């Protein structure tokens, strides 16, 4: 309940879990980071980090209008800052709404190792998809 697996192609491919069960209105993406998610330097690929952050932030936006976290929001813009290398093990991305109105929301997110060390932060602008676009 509230844990979403394999619901989209990308989620199945990369292997993360989307958790919209928290009562704080914030969605989380959990990934057991392994060799499949690394880059040439054997650290977490920046694009995988962006994927987890984008999804946690978009689902957090969705939770503001839909308790199942499934109403789609389109990402207009996403900025990721890479603070420290990500290493194999459990990592979690989490979103937070910072502002916005009825259709456009501003979010921030962070991605951390299990021990709490920050890997990356992100901010972005998301827009609620209209029914006809779903």
- Looking only at residues 31 through 50 of this chain, which bind a copy of itself when binding is defined by CB under 8 A? 34-41, 45-48, 50
Distance CA 47, CA 132 (A): 29
C-beta atoms surrounding 60 within 10 Å:
27
Residue of the chain from 14, 17, 22, 87 that contacts a copy of itself (CB under 8 A) = 14
Q: Provide the minimum distance between the beta carbon of 6 and a copy of itself in the complex, in angstroms, as a whole number.
A: 11
Token pair in block for residue 53: 């952050």
Find the binder of a copy of itself among 17, 66, 84, 87 (CB under 8 A). Answer: 84
Instruction: Give every CB contact of residue 27 below 8 A, 6+ residues apart in sequence.
Output: 18, 19, 20, 55, 56, 57, 59, 60, 62, 63, 69, 94, 95
How many binding residues for a copy of itself (CB under 8 A)? 54
Confirm or reject binding of residue 96 to a copy of itself (CB under 8 A): no
Q: Which residues 6+ apart lie within 8 Å of 72 measured at CB?
A: 58, 62, 129, 133, 134
How far is it, in rounded angstroms, from Cα 20 to Cα 118?
21
Of 21, 79, 89, 90, the one binding a copy of itself (CB under 8 A) is: 79
Q: Which residues bind a copy of itself (CB under 8 A)?
A: 7-10, 12-14, 34-41, 45-48, 50-55, 58, 70, 72, 74-84, 98-100, 104, 106, 108, 118, 121, 123-125, 127, 129, 133-134
């Amino acid at each position: 309940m509230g844990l979403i697996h394999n619901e989209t192609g990308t989620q199945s491919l990369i292997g993360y879990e989307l958790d919209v069960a928290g009562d704080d209105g914030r969605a989380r993406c959990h990934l057991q980071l392994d060799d499949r998610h690394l880059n040439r330097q054997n650290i977490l690929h920046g694009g995988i980090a962006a994927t987890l952050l984008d999804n946690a932030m978009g689902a957090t936006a969705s939770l503001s209008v839909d308790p199942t976290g499934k109403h789609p929001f389109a990402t207009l813009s996403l900025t990721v800052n890479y603070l420290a290398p990500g290493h194999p093990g459990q990592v979690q991305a989490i979103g937070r709404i910072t502002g916005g109105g009825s259709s456009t929301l501003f979010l921030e997110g962070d991605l951390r190792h299990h021990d709490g060390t920050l890997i990356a932060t992100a901010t972005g602008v998301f827009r609620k998809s209209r029914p006809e676009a779903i």
